[in-house]
Amino acid sequence: SIEEDVDAPEDLQARAPIVTVMGHVDHGKTSLLDYIRKENVIAGESGGITQHIGAYGVTLEDGQKITFLDTPGHEAFTAMRARGAQVTDIAIIVVAADDDIMPQTKEAISHAQAASVPIVFAINKIDRPTANPDKIKEGLAGMNLLVEDWGGKIQSHDISAKTGQGINELLEKVLLEAELLELKANPDRLATGTVVEAFLDKGRGYVSTILVQSGTLEIGDYVLAGTCSGKVKAMQDERGKNIEKAGPATPISILGLDGAPQAGDKFNVLDDEREAKQIAAKRSQLQREQSVRTQRH
Ligand code: GDP
């Protein structure tokens, strides 16, 4: 059966924050995620992250970790929320300093607020001669969002996703915010988490990127994800490295599911392969019945 989500306090251990990047189109979300992905080098390991699996983890120089959802924009955020997935701990909202607070900036802010997710503002493109970060901060103040420079409590940092200026400091502020949240999870239980993306690969079959949120996923585990199930045959991290197990806040791509679950589907590990198959089959049947019903209407 599916294990309940209750853990004794003594079983909980600190975990990395999971961060989503949102903001208006062209304000630099993709550039920021690309910069962090390329520049991050884990101690002793050279080169940036080469795989694009929908999420990645970075380790800062001081050893602290952050997990990024690598799908910029609030569509992914809202799609996941619509499926009941609470994945994001902190939202970085990117605002271009040579532009204004735009409609999608406001939407991103209200999505984060509706989900009670703390915001860290990244005031981007400060390398541009026409950049005016103060104008942006004033605009935020006008929306009752007082950033630190303006005597408020909301974190913000001026950055350039092009030159990298300010990005380390931005990430430090994300970690400060994370500290306040006291994020914890129990690594010693059957894994649960959320599907980030999934697709059918010609050579490898169904590849699903999942984010372990609680527990530890191991090769050989029976996974139930939405209407799909299967035994985990292989796991890879965002560097394409094969791994044997993955703990809380770790994004990994897995092989072995019998289909492609949807982004935002929850996954569980069950003791029994047959039970996982039965539940998945029941869910598919329910979905088919529902779609027949909506077609009739
Ligand atoms: P997104 O739509 O929010 O993902 O924005 P992109 O990351 O695609 O950036 C939009 C455009 O702005 C691209 O042409 C980027 O090269 C450019 N851009 C992004 N960040 C910066 C920056 O910090 N400085 C400058 N000069 N250009 C930037």
- Ligand 1 centre distance from Cα of residue 27 (Å): 6
pLDDT band for position 292 (cuts 50, 70, 90):
confident
- Ligand 1 centre distance from Cα of residue 167 (Å): 14
What does the alpha-carbon distance between residue 137 and residue 149 come to, in Å, rounded to a whole number?
Answer: 8
Confirm or reject: Cβ of 128 under 6 Å from ligand 1: yes
Mutate to test the pocket of ligand 1, among 26, 31, 102 (most ligand atoms within 8 A of CB): 31
Q: What is the ipTM of this complex?
A: 0.99
Residue 37 scores a pLDDT above 80: yes
Query: What pLDDT shows up at residue 21?
Result: 95
- Ligand 1 centre distance from Cα of residue 125 (Å): 7
Give residue-wise pLDDT tens across range 58-103: 988 888 999 999 887 777 788 787 777 789 999 999 999 999 999 9
pLDDT band for position 14 (cuts 50, 70, 90):
very high
Single out the residue of 285, 280, 259, 284 nearest to residue 268, CA to CA. 280
Query: What pLDDT shows up at residue 237?
Result: 92
What does the alpha-carbon distance between residue 277 and residue 239 come to, in Å, rounded to a whole number?
Answer: 31
In angstroms, the Cα distances linking 166 to 95, 169, 223 are 14, 5, 41
Query: What pLDDT shows up at residue 281?
Result: 95
Query: What pLDDT shows up at residue 42?
Result: 61
Query: What pLDDT shows up at residue 296?
Result: 72
- Ligand 1 centre distance from Cα of residue 176 (Å): 26
Give residue-wise pLDDT tens across range 214-262: 999 999 999 999 999 999 999 999 988 999 999 999 999 999 999 999 9
Single out the residue of 183, 212, 213, 186 nearest to residue 11, CA to CA. 186
What residue's CA is closest to ligand 1, atom 17?
28
Residue 283 scores a pLDDT above 70: yes
Confirm or reject: Cβ of 74 under 6 Å from ligand 1: no
Query: What pLDDT shows up at residue 50?
Result: 75
Residue 41 scores a pLDDT above 70: no
Q: List residues forming the annotated binding site for GTP.
A: 23-30, 70-74, 124-127
What does the alpha-carbon distance between residue 211 and residue 249 come to, in Å, rounded to a whole number?
Answer: 6
Query: What pLDDT shows up at residue 67?
Result: 96
